A and B are shown apart, each in its own frame.
Chain A
Amino acid sequence: MRRIYESGAIRRDEGPFSPSEKDTERRIEAMRSINSTKLSRLILPNGLSRRAISIDVSTPRDEYPLDAAIPFRVTMRNSMPFPITIPTRSPLLWTWDVDGVTDASHVPLHDPPDEPDSLVFDRGERKQFTKQWQQLFRVSDSEWEPAEPGEYTIGAELNVENAVEKGLRGETTVRLDPDTEA
């Protein structure tokens, strides 16, 4: 029977490159790597940070029959080759809305704590989030009403002051038409 000692499974690492002695000759290399996210947050002006981020909202189709769920994709992209940090008003980093109605709800769904937070993008990072709008508007804590046929704007924006002016909002338009085929 082959024993474990003969199998080489527990062979000691004795190759030429394995460290056998502590090399005390070299000096400690402080700051071999730096936290580029923190650094860019410190040195980049806010205006440049904001310009680096683009938000896009897209749907697979422009027209939908009534009662069909409308999937939409929110794409946030950092066009810069360095990390970007966008400070937000609360831990709720971004929101979506239909015709300006956040989360398609006339009653507020979230009450985020009043603490600033931030959304961090890596260098050239693209974040994608897929959501669905069920063609319903929440009208109370426990009731929803269907949307009427017509044109609706689905938007998404970062939770910052004046997101539209700062270019941190994206939107798309869909049409709800009872005659459209599913």
Chain B
Amino acid sequence: MTLLEVNDLTVKFYTQEGVVTAVDDLSYSIERGEKFGVVGESGAGKSVTALSLMRLIDSPGRIESGEILFKGENLLEMDESEMQRIRGNEVAMVFQDAQTALNPVYPVGEQIAEAIRHHLDYDDQEARERTIQLLDKVGIPEAEARYDDYPHEFSGGMQQRAIIAMALSCDPDLLLCDEPTTALDVTIEAQILDELKALADDFDTAIQLITHDLGVVAQVCDRVMVMYAGTPVEKAPVEELYYDPKHPYTVGLMSSIPRVGDDRERLQTIPGTMPDLVELPPGCSFHPRCPYAEECCARKEPALLDPETGVAATSDTEHAAACLEYTGDLTGGLDYEVTVDDAATEDEPQYAGRDHNV
């Protein structure tokens, strides 16, 4: 059953330099209990998408069009009090930087208990007990003693866990995790991801995991959406995305992951940077960086299509990509190759194509 359905969401920021189109005509859906990944470089519109779902876009940003259906109700048409009932209760968010997300002048436990008291009508003692249980669940040692600690007394990993505990405090149906492990070292990252997965399974919570780390996506998610310059360029189940990527940007992202035992001298990268969102290049936004770009790529913007049939993708399309290859406009084709070297890399796919560094 569909828990969240985002249809044609457009978010713009009106600045002096011009209009920043942070999210452009974005549509996707998340099922109940599903783990959905959103990947892309900085500036791709991942965080703005999540903030829009919580209606936390501040001026000069505006949700210009579209609808966000959560359990069939449009969040964009709700008044602020209705939204407050849902925010933190049915839809919760794990923010990117735990240190700034926590209020430095209140004890950590109190900040979690506040949400529980507000949304679940628990009294002080009950809220305290539930908070201690949650802190214990996310792996904070001596949770009872740490309840009254201030954020600065927690390590980075513990702060992140506290934020996760806060997000899970009211048993949300949807958890938006905005780069929950970016500020952490890899060992803590692995622990937190395992915890998130286990907790989501326990509570049957759907997760929208925003990250720029494809390894994290592979570990946690069921389906993935790759975003570039505010638009989705590929949507696929996680296995298909890794073993059969259809968009050159996804291939570029995959081939730029460093691998143990790789004998190439230089790490393959995608040349250039994300375009200025005030002034997107004409045609496909990725064409200035694409090794397979042809003249038509600068003249025509591809829609999300089913790569097998070339017809426009719908919400039921499993695998969709936005590339002119699938409309038949590219003459040279996409000549990359994905090889799976079972012995050397334990089932890890390798990506060989035209060098992105040219």
A residues touching B (Cβ–Cβ < 8 Å)? 91-93, 109-113, 117, 119, 127, 129, 131-132, 134, 136, 138, 141-146
13 contacts between A and B (CB under 8 A): A91-B14, A91-B62, A92-B19, A93-B16, A110-B12, A111-B65, A112-B14, A113-B62, A119-B16, A132-B279, A136-B298, A144-B283, A146-B299
User: Are A129's CB and B19's CB within 8 A?
Assistant: no
B297 → A minimal CB distance (Å):
11
Does any Cβ of A come within 8 Å of B85's Cβ?
no
A142–B298 CA distance with the chains assembled, in angstroms = 10
Whether A136 contacts B299 in the complex (CB less than 8 A), given A91-B60, A92-B19, A113-B62, comes out as yes
A169 → B minimal CB distance (Å):
17
Q: What 6 new A-B contacts, CB under 8 Å, besides A93-B14, A131-B279?
A: A92-B14, A92-B19, A127-B16, A143-B300, A143-B301, A144-B300
B residues touching A (Cβ–Cβ < 8 Å)? 12, 14, 16-19, 60, 62, 64-65, 279, 281-283, 298-303
B8 → A minimal CB distance (Å):
12
User: Are A141's CB and B301's CB within 8 A?
Assistant: yes
A91–B303 CA distance with the chains assembled, in angstroms = 29
Residues of A close to B60: CB separation below 8 A: 91
A62–B280 CA distance with the chains assembled, in angstroms = 24
User: Are A111's CB and B301's CB within 8 A?
Assistant: no
Whether A134 contacts B12 in the complex (CB less than 8 A), given A142-B301, A143-B299, comes out as no
A111–B21 CA distance with the chains assembled, in angstroms = 12
A146–B282 CA distance with the chains assembled, in angstroms = 11
User: Are A134's CB and B62's CB within 8 A?
Assistant: no
Whether A142 contacts B279 in the complex (CB less than 8 A), given A92-B19, A111-B64, comes out as no
User: Are B303's CB and A134's CB within 8 A?
Assistant: no
Q: Which of B19, B64, B300, B303 lies at the interface centre, i.e. has the most chain A CB atoms within 10 A of its CB?
A: B19
Q: Closest residue of chain A to B280, judged by CB?
A: A109
